[in-house]
């Protein structure tokens, strides 16, 4: 008995030793130095957290393109996530998450991989978080990459500069730049992270020649911009834009006012005046760089109009125009929206009565107002929430998505459209709301157990997404066939209580919104002349 007990004790100790050894994986050699991560005991997935991909954008590097990481000696600990880029804490409150430390030194990424074997050549998926380009971070709870890594994908999530620290355009910054441009620093951060992936991802078992970028909301906006940008050519090979936020008002030309948007530099000067105070020299970069992060957050609030700057370099034109001309990258694309994108943003349209709604629409759209009111008619105040939801869904998200897909049809690569319609069971009044599909793509449903429909839908969606990352075609044997997108039929795959094919998703409404946008832009250009 004693010998048996002793043997059992020895075996238990040996098992514990093996587990300990497993949790301390061999260091990974990057171009900047060695790192050591963690192995998750339940899945065996290797996680590397808080890896710097650019120098801290602080001091004189505030509002400059990202600079190279300084090399380090020894082995850098990569078991802890970094802080988040400076932002308001409202997103964390909404998501019930603890807000990470906020710091300008925030240009870090995270990697999940099944095995860091340089010979594995696994497909790579780079996640770009949403949050209106003002909120969020790469390691939010819903973005855990374990389930994707278990499917033989190397998952990378990225931080990028946000709000005025990430997107400020300013005449002084343009003058300081060798290229004469400013703004888009957050996009340049994403671009730098993709360059890091090209240099280093093979050490994690990833294939630098098979990289898929994907993101939701502002992350989808980022995907839309990166595919359109000539700077990004060769850094990725497939793209997935989920609920991309692309409108006529979140793009601005660097030095010219267009439609309802001032020039990006003028918006920047207005912000500088608010932050520096009355009588300050708004053109002083020294003064702006001396302002503390706390003061920037306090004095900016939610008033900073973050825009994609058409600078002639990163973004040579409105992305819509680039896609219309077929000048974007020729790569496979997936893109889609949710049925009720607008429910979370309905309060952005302040209308309380039908009379307010009609008056506000006429003030905003002028000669085009009646077309808008015909598309989104309201005869009773109780209808306004539904009207706001549909208008925002169409104009903020679906229009830009469809234009991107139509643009991809002008080049030779296949494009695939999805429509997510599974209603929230926890918050049914929000419907299939903005961001809801993320939990299904990552197979992270939070602490509450998903019901059988959710589990089946999540299993199918993660298969489609992973297959697309592997091959550029989402179709998987045994699942509903996903047709390629063609503008004439507008075919798509709908993810709801069941998975079905559909066509002509809000096509007439989107066509009308496009006509109005083109007329407004033409009128604006005529005024400039």
Collect contacts of 255-264 with beta carbons under 8 A, ≥24 apart: 256/528, 258/521, 258/524, 258/525, 258/528, 259/520, 259/521, 259/524, 260/364, 260/520, 261/307, 263/169, 264/169, 264/182, 264/183, 264/307, 264/309, 264/310, 264/311
**Exposure string for 147-178, b = 16+ CB within 10 A, e = fewer:** bbbbbbbbbbbbbbbbbbbbbbbbbbbbeeee
Determine the Cα–Cα distance for residues 6 and 10; give it in Å rounded to an integer: 6
Given 157, 217, 222, 319, the catalytic residue:
217
**E strands in 114-198:** 122-128, 154-158
Which token pair is 316? Answer: 């040579």
- Eight-class DSSP state of 81: -
Number of Cβ within 10 Å of residue 252's Cβ equals 29
Which token pair is 390? Answer: 């549909």
Which token pair is 321? Answer: 């125009």
Expressed in angstroms, the distance from the first to the final Cα of the chain is: 97
**Which sign, positive or negative, has the C-alpha torsion 440, 441, 445, 450?**
positive
**Exposure string for 315-340, b = 16+ CB within 10 A, e = fewer:** bbbbbbbbbbeebbbebbbbbbbbbb
Determine the Cα–Cα distance for residues 462 and 442; give it in Å rounded to an integer: 7
3-state helix, strand, coil in the chain (%, to 5): 45, 15, 40
Closest C-alpha among 195, 264, 236, 260 to residue 472: 236
Given 150, 192, 341, 437, the catalytic residue:
341
Determine the Cα–Cα distance for residues 309 and 184; give it in Å rounded to an integer: 6
Number of Cβ within 10 Å of residue 447's Cβ equals 6
Given 368, 419, 434, 492, the catalytic residue:
434
| H or E element at residue 196 | helix 185-200
Determine the Cα–Cα distance for residues 413 and 448; give it in Å rounded to an integer: 40
Residue pair 320/246 in contact by the 8 Å Cβ criterion? yes
| H or E element at residue 334 | strand 333-338
Active site residue 139: no
**E strands in 66-222:** 75-77, 108-113, 122-128, 154-158, 206-216
Cβ-based neighbours of 525, under 8 Å, separated by 6 or more: 258
Residue pair 397/341 in contact by the 8 Å Cβ criterion? yes
Active site residue 298: no
Residue pair 421/341 in contact by the 8 Å Cβ criterion? no
Using DSSP, state whether 29 is helix, strand or coil: strand
Active site residue 170: no
How many Cα neighbours within 13 Å face the side chain of 113?
26
Q: Which residue numbers are catalytic?
A: 217, 341, 434
């Amino acid at each position: 008995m004693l010998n048996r007990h002793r043997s059992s004790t020895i075996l238990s100790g040996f098992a514990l030793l093996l587990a300990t050894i497993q949790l301390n994986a061999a260091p990974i050699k990057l171009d900047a130095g060695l790192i050591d991560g963690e192995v998750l005991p339940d899945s065996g997935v290797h996680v590397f957290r808080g890896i710097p991909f650019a120098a801290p954008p602080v001091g004189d590097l505030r509002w400059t393109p990202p600079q190279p990481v300084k090399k380090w000696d020894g082995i850098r600990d990569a078991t802890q996530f970094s802080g988040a880029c400076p932002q308001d804490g409202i997103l964390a409150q909404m998501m019930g998450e603890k807000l990470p430390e906020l710091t300008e030194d925030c240009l870090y990424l995270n990697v999940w991989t099944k095995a860091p074997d340089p010979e594995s050549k696994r497909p790579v998926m780079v996640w770009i978080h949403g949050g209106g380009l003002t909120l969020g971070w790469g390691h939010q709870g819903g973005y855990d990459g374990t389930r994707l890594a278990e499917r033989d994908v190397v998952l990378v999530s990225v931080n990028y500069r946000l709000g005025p620290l990430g997107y400020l355009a300013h005449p002084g910054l343009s003058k300081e730049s060798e290229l004469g441009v400013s703004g888009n620093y957050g996009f340049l951060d994403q671009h730098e992270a993709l360059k890091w992936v090209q240099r280093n991802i093979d050490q994690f078992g990833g294939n630098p020649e098979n990289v898929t970028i994907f993101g939701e909301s502002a992350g989808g906006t980022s995907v839309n911009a990166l595919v359109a940008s000539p700077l990004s050519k060769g850094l990725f090979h497939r793209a997935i834009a989920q609920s991309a936020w692309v409108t006529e008002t979140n793009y601005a030309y660097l030095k010219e006012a267009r439609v309802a948007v001032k020039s990006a530099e003028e918006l920047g000067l207005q912000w500088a005046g608010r932050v520096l105070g009355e009588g300050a020299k708004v053109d002083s970069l020294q003064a702006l760089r001396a302002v503390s992060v706390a003061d920037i957050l306090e004095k900016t609030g939610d008033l900073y109009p973050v825009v994609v700057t058409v600078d002639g370099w990163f973004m040579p034109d409105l992305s819509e125009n680039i896609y219309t001309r077929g000048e974007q990258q020729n790569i496979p694309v997936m893109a889609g929206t949710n049925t009720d994108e607008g429910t979370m943003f309905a309060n952005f349209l302040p209308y309380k009565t039908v009379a307010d709604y009609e008056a506000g629409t006429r003030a905003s759209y002028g000669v085009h107002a009646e077309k808008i009111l015909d598309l989104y008619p309201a005869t009773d105040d109780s209808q306004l929430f539904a009207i706001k939801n549909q208008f925002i869904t169409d104009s903020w998200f679906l229009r830009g998505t469809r234009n991107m897909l139509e643009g991809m049809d002008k080049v030779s690569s296949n494009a695939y459209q999805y429509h997510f319609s599974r209603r929230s069971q926890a918050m049914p009044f929000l419907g299939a709301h903005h961001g809801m599909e993320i939990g299904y793509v990552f197979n992270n449903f939070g602490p509450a157990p998903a019901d059988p429909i959710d589990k089946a839908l999540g299993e199918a969606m993660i298969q489609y997404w992973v297959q697309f990352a592997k091959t550029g075609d989402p179709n998987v044997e045994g699942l509903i066939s996903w047709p390629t997108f063609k503008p004439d039929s507008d075919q798509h795959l709908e993810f709801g209580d069941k998975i079905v094919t559909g066509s002509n998703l809000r096509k007439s409404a989107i066509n009308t919104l496009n006509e109005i946008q083109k007329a407004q832009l033409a009128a604006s250009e005529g005024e400039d002349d």
